[in-house]
């Protein structure tokens, strides 16, 4: 595996995690009536960090999800 392949995989995993963080997390918040602006910012921030961290970001997202 070349560095480019690893980097590409890293970014794709990060982007998927970011999409999950914004779309799924946010919609469940709205479902339960929790639409505080801080939450939206929080999920967006989590998403940005997720892209940067790639697979590590997935682990952080799982922990964040469990933590609520």
CA pair distance 33, 27, nearest whole angstrom: 10
Give pTM, 2 decimals.
0.48
CA pair distance 2, 26, nearest whole angstrom: 36
Residue 55 or residue 32, greater confidence: 55
Could you state, in order of their start, the residue ranges of all structural domains in the chain? 3-67
Find out whether 17 and 56 touch, Cβ atoms under 8 Å.
no
Residue 33 has what pLDDT?
Answer: 62
- pLDDT per position as a tens digit, 13-23: 877 777 776 67
């Amino acid at each position: 595996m070349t560095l480019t392949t690893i980097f590409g995989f890293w970014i794709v995993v990060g982007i998927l995690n970011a999409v999950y963080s914004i779309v799924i997390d946010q919609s469940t918040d709205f479902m339960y009536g929790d639409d505080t602006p801080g939450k939206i910012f929080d999920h967006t921030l989590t998403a940005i960090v997720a892209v940067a961290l790639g697979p590590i970001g997935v682990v952080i997202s799982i922990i964040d999800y469990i933590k609520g």
